């Protein structure tokens, strides 16, 4: 026989069941200029700083900035998304001698996503984003990273901090990395770990070393990157470097490499595919192919008005 439950009793039971959800279970938390780190980081009672919000949010959850403000440097030890919506400038200014964002995850797989952030190293910050963990996919989207004494983005391994581990995938998109004292972007896996990913619609400019450095010399694993629609301009080193022991493959297309102090492109013991519609202009040298490096050119590229002769010979593919 079917039992009829009165509506008032059903509503009471539902309310009681909702009340059993843990109060600290938060898949999404918030920060605001008017917030306080003593708050629970809800939309109605936001925290003040990113670090407190990261400490509060569930693993794999999201931290969102409600309004424009500076939200302090952060250390990330697990899966999280930090995001600033369109029209909101969420700034991070590190303390002197430290990075703005330190990612020191271990184990995995896990994922860290950084969206819409403004990182400024004027106060003495070392790197903008410094990865020293293992087993983490990293996505950096719609960010501005500038004025650091070291690298804008350093995806590497520091054995003194964590046992070396793999960064499985790195995606950098719609991001400007400029006026840093080291590399604009440095991608540098170690030991036997492999690194894959993509760099798309990124500007690296006026950095004191190479704009984009992809270095596989310290790993026995493979390094594969697709680079498209980027500008690497006016860096004091090269525009792009691809270095390896025969284990590095880079695809480059639809990009501009210009006005760099040394080579537009350097390839050493690596393979770079220069696919189409890339301009290499007004660098000291257009390209340098050294050791067992190889640049395969699919045609429709322009390498012109560089100040010194290039080193090596492009390998033309499909007769182009």
Q: Give the length of the chain.
A: 320
The one-digit pLDDT tens for each residue of the chain (320 residues) are: 333 334 333 233 323 333 333 345 589 999 999 999 999 999 999 999 999 999 999 999 999 999 999 999 999 999 999 999 999 999 999 999 999 999 988 766 789 999 999 999 999 999 999 998 777 899 999 999 999 999 999 998 554 444 445 568 999 999 999 999 999 999 988 877 788 999 999 999 999 999 999 999 988 888 999 999 999 999 999 999 999 988 999 999 999 999 999 999 999 999 999 988 999 999 999 999 999 999 999 888 999 999 999 999 999 886 54
Residues 6+ apart with CB under 8 A from 286: 263, 264, 265, 280, 303, 304, 306, 310
Tokens of 310: 């290039």
Beta strand 231-233 with 195-205: parallel, antiparallel or unpaired?
A: parallel
- DSSP letter assigned to residue 81: E
d(CA 183, CA 207): 6
Tokens of 307: 């100040």
Q: What is the value of pTM for the model shown?
A: 0.90
The per-residue pLDDT for 108 is 65
CA proximity to 247, closest of 308, 297, 192: 192
Domain ranges of the chain: 64-316
Q: Bridge-partner residues for 166, per DSSP?
A: none
d(CA 154, CA 301): 29
Number of Cα atoms under 13 Å in the Cβ half of residue 1: 3
Q: How far apart are the first and last CA of the chain?
A: 81
The answer to whether 91 and 122 are in contact (CB under 8 A) is: no
CA proximity to 223, closest of 252, 198, 257: 198
d(CA 71, CA 185): 23
Answer CATH for 64-316 from 3.40.50.720, 1.10.540.10, 2.160.20.10, 3.30.1380.10: 2.160.20.10
What is the enclosing helix (H) or strand (E) of 302? Answer: strand 302-304
The per-residue pLDDT for 167 is 61
The answer to whether 41 and 52 are in contact (CB under 8 A) is: yes
d(CA 177, CA 65): 22
What string of DSSP letters covers 121-132? -TTT-S-SEEE-
The per-residue pLDDT for 25 is 55
CA proximity to 207, closest of 240, 235, 173, 185: 235
Residue 299's CB: how many other CB atoms inside 10 A?
A: 14
């Amino acid at each position: 026989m079917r039992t009829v439950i009165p509506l008032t009793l059903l509503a009471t039971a539902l309310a009681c069941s909702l009340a059993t959800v843990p109060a600290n279970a938060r898949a999404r938390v918030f920060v605001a200029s008017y917030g306080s780190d003593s708050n629970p980081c809800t939309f109605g009672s936001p925290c003040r700083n990113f670090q407190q919000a990261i400490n509060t949010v569930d693993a794999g959850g999201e931290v969102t900035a409600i309004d424009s403000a500076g939200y302090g440097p952060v250390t990330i030890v697990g899966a999280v998304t930090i995001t600033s919506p369109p029209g909101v400038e969420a700034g991070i200014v590190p303390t002197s001698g430290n990075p703005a964002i330190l990612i020191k995850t271990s184990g995995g797989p896990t994922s860290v996503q950084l969206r819409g952030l403004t990182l400024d190293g004027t106060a003495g910050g070392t790197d903008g984003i410094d990865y020293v963990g293992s087993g983490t996919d990293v996505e950096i989207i719609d960010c501005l990273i500038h004025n650091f004494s070291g690298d804008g983005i350093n995806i590497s391994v520091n054995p003194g901090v964590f046992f070396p581990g793999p960064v499985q995938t790195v995606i950098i998109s719609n991001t400007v990395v400029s006026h840093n004292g080291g590399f604009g972007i440095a991608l540098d896996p170690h030991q036997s770990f492999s690194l894959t990913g993509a760099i798309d619609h990124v500007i690296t400019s006026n950095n004191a070393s190479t704009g984009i450095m992809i270095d596989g010399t310290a790993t026995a694993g493979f390094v594969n990157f697709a680079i498209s629609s980027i500008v690497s301009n006016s860096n004091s080193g090269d525009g792009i470097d691809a270095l390896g022991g025969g284990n590095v493959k880079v695809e480059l297309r639809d990009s501009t490499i210009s006005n760099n102090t040394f080579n537009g492109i350097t390839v050493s013991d690596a393979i770079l595919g220069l696919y189409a519609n890339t301009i290499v202009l007004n660098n000291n040298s257009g390209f340098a192919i050294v050791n067992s490096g190889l640049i395969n050119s699919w045609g429709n590229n322009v390498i012109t008005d560089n100040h010194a002769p290039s080193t090596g010979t492009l390998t033309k593919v499909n007769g182009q």
